[in-house]
Structure formats: C-alpha cells, structure tokens
Amino acid sequence: MKLLLFVLLLQSKPSSTYRLPWEETKSFKCTQGFNGALSHNGNSKYAVDFSMHEGTKVCAARGGKVTEVKEDESKGGMGDEFKGKGRENKIRIDHGDGTTSLYLHLKKDGALVEVGDTVMQGDIIGLSGATGYASGAHLHFQVNKGSGWESIEIAFDDIETDGGVPIDGKSYTSRNVPGIPAAQKDELIALMRQAKLAATAEYWGIALPRYKKVAETKLKVKWEVLDQARAAMESIEKKGAERADEVEKLLADRYDDAVMLFTLQRRSYRDTPAAKRFDSLYGTLQKRDEWYAALAKTKEIAKAQESCYAALKADFDGKPPLKTYLDVAKSDSIYGKVAAARAKELEADSKK
C-alpha cells in the first residue's frame, strides 16, 4: 500500500495554475471533455462541461480581473434559436498573461461579480444554470487566447490522474480553496506532496521541515492542509519516541534485531527531535562485543536506505537521478521497491 501511494504521488502531469471551478471537497462529473463530439470543436475544442444542478456556486479556477459579465438571459435549450447566438450568461476573467477564462450557462442574475472586480483563485463568482445553448444545467469552462474565443489546452492541479485533464464520465473532487494566492497554494501543495513521498519511505528528516513550513504558514482563511501538516508533525515526534523505546526493549534478548532497528531508525529520524535519543542509544549499543558483527548484517539494507535518501533529496531539487534509482532498485527492500517504481516513471517520462 505504501509503495502504491508513493507511485501515485509521484505521477507527473502538466504544470498548471488552474483548480476545478467549484467549492473545495465537492465533486461533479465531466459530461464533455476536450474535443467532445457534441459541441467541443473548433474554437471550443479544449472546453470542459461539468454536470451540476442550477444554482451551484461557481469558483474562479484562477485569479484575475473580471472583464465581461452577462446575466440577463433566462432561457436555454438545444433549439436553433440558442445555437451559436451567444445567449448564454457568462463571466470572463483576464489572467494578465494573455489568457482569459470563460464560465458559461450561468443562471439569470447568476453573476456574483462585476466588470472590473479582481478575484482570487477559489473566490465564488457566480451560480450555474442552463442558459443559452444547453441541454440542461451544467458549467462550461474554457481558457482562451486573449479576449477571443480560441480555447487553449490546460490541466487542473487538483486532478491527480489523466494528466490533470477531465475525462468524460469521470467525477472529480475540487481542492479549490478561496482566499489563497495561486502561487502560494502551489508551493504549499508541492511541499505537502514531497513530505508525503518522504514519509512513504520513512525519511522523517526530509518530511518534517516540509510539514513544518506548511504548518507555520500564515493565511487569512482556514485551510485543512495546514491542520494535516501539524498533525503529521506531531505524529513524527511521537513515532520517534516509540521507535527508540522499541530499540531499548529489544536490547535484552534480541540484540541483532535491536541493532537493525536502531540503524534504520537512526537514519530515518536524522534532523528531527528524536535524533538525540538515537544518538544516546548508540553509546549503549556499541559497547557490546557483538556490535560490529550485528552492524555488518545491516550493511546492505542501510546502503540502500542511504542511497535512496540521497536520490530523493536530489529528486526534490529537480534533478531526479535515474542511475542512482536503478542501482538502489537492486536491493531486496522497501527502498529497492520505491527506487524501482520511481526509475520506471523517469524512464517513461524520457520517452515522451
């Protein structure tokens, strides 16, 4: 299970600053994705439709300035009187980088912003509907070049599968939190992802400072990710003390096992509050005559642990060391399995 989580978290997808355009924790189904047969062609080939009942709160997928609002239409349908007439209610947001996003088919009087407003990612901007050319209540979303209608391909950061691109028939859960600048949110999510990856292999010395940076971030809004980071920090400190206790209990009649556990856990908890406890245990363990013989039995797995540790740190610095991962993958240990999974991903990425 840990290995599977590690692999899933490491899956790469296109970089993006977009979040799903509705409230955090809520889920909606994609009813028409890119190049949809019904209407997503031509200028709208990179549009996405999400099924949602009328009146659902629509959130900014990305921050920017509101440049267009229409909310006077009360009718909708699939008849010729609606097709291509631009009768749908809508909101357009300019992102300041030559792109704009469109939110279409809003209900009558369903715009909660005005032209000229500046909104942040996650802010509630309108209410969904079925106005204009629509078979029912849903939200049509697309990002365009400039202020025109030519759509461009994007990905959503809160979709962990399919390259971040919504697929017909699949439901997706939003992590779009209001009131947090996109760049800051991206940084915090990246830190959490790295911390969780490190925790998968029990590299607490890598995970802890990342959890701490997230936990100590000052935000104007409440965000559960910060609470998760705080809980993870407390868990790491508690587990460190428990592992040290385990080593002491094994000392009485299972010395080799005590040395094995000590060796691995000492490395796992380096640069954490528990490190001092393990340093003190070193003095006790190495006094025994059989210390070197017991230590020799840990050599292979300790080497794999250390190599994987160094590789992961390099990976987080943007320099994934494929060769090191391949070397570690030869180890018959959890570190070997983790390295093998990551090496496979890197090789696949290099062929794209």
**Do residue 116 and residue 191 come from a single domain?**
no
**Do residue 234 and residue 346 come from a single domain?**
yes
pLDDT tens-digit profile of 187-216? 888 899 889 888 988 999 999 999 999 999
CATH number of the domain that residue 38 is part of: 2.70.70.10
Show which of 122, 144, 173 is a domain's final residue.
173
For residue 281, the surrounding DSSP H or E stretch is helix 275-285
Domain count, the chain: 2
pLDDT tens-digit profile of 272-281? 999 999 999 9
| DSSP codes, 40-106 | --GGGTT-EEEE--TTPEEE-SS-EEEEEEE-----EESSTTTTTS--SEEEEEE-SSSEEEEEEEE
**Do residue 262 and residue 308 come from a single domain?**
yes
Assigned domain for 313 exists: yes
Which residue range forms the structural domain that includes residue 302?
183-350
Indicate whether 7 pLDDT > 50: no
Assigned domain for 19 exists: no
**Do residue 101 and residue 219 come from a single domain?**
no
Q: Name the more confident of 41 and 53.
A: 53
Check residue 344 and give its pLDDT.
87
Going by pLDDT thresholds of 50, 70 and 90, the confidence category of residue 6 is: very low
pTM: 0.61
Check residue 118 and give its pLDDT.
87
Indicate whether 330 pLDDT > 70: yes
**Do residue 188 and residue 335 come from a single domain?**
yes
**Do residue 261 and residue 136 come from a single domain?**
no
CA distance 174 to 29: 11
CA distance 129 to 108: 8
Assigned domain for 18 exists: no
**Do residue 70 and residue 111 come from a single domain?**
yes
**Do residue 155 and residue 257 come from a single domain?**
no
CA distance 270 to 278: 9
Q: Name the more confident of 43 and 51.
A: 51
**Do residue 129 and residue 277 come from a single domain?**
no
- Is residue 139 within 8 Å of 21, Cβ to Cβ? yes
Assigned domain for 2 exists: no
- Is residue 30 within 8 Å of 169, Cβ to Cβ? yes
**Do residue 165 and residue 195 come from a single domain?**
no
pLDDT tens-digit profile of 215-261? 999 987 778 889 999 999 999 989 999 999 999 999 888 999 999 99
Average pLDDT score over residue span 300-307: 90
Assigned domain for 3 exists: no
CA 65 from chain centre, in angstroms, equals: 26
Check residue 182 and give its pLDDT.
67
**Do residue 88 and residue 198 come from a single domain?**
no
pLDDT tens-digit profile of 85-143? 678 999 999 999 999 999 999 999 999 999 999 888 899 999 999 999 888 999 999 99
Check residue 172 and give its pLDDT.
95
From residue 68, give the alpha-carbon distance in Å to each of 18, 106, 214, 242, 303: 19, 13, 36, 59, 60
State the chain's mean pLDDT as an integer.
87
Average pLDDT score over residue span 51-67: 95
Show which of 173, 208, 228 is a domain's final residue.
173
Show which of 153, 173, 193 is a domain's final residue.
173
